[in-house]
Amino acid sequence: MALTTETTRAIEACYDALLEPEWWPGALQKLADALGATSCVIGPCDPEHPFGADRRGQPMTALLSRLHTPSQY
């Protein structure tokens, strides 16, 4: 599957944010916009962490980010 120009630019913004951490909010928002999502977060890779497991299809019992509001769920 070929990526759109918008998605390619969003992924490049994420690579740039690796070197400039303050760019992460903008990079993740670009990625969300490119994918048609409301927002985008990076979850921890530790499966023991409450947010480390795959949460698709599970009810939200806690917010994943302090920037999200309960009305979004």
- Cα separation of 4 and 35, whole Å? 10
pLDDT at 13: 96
Query: For 52, how many CA atoms within 13 A lie in the half-sphere containing its CB?
Result: 7
Residue 30 above 70 pLDDT?
Answer: yes
pLDDT-derived band at 41 (thresholds 50, 70, 90) equals confident
Rounded distance, CA 64 to CA 20, Å? 22
Q: Do 34 and 27 contact (CB within 8 A), yes or no?
A: no
Higher local confidence (pLDDT), 13 or 37: 13
pTM of this prediction?
0.62
Q: What percent of the chain is predicted at pLDDT more than 90?
A: 42
Q: How confident is the model at residue 48 (pLDDT cuts 50, 70, 90)?
A: confident
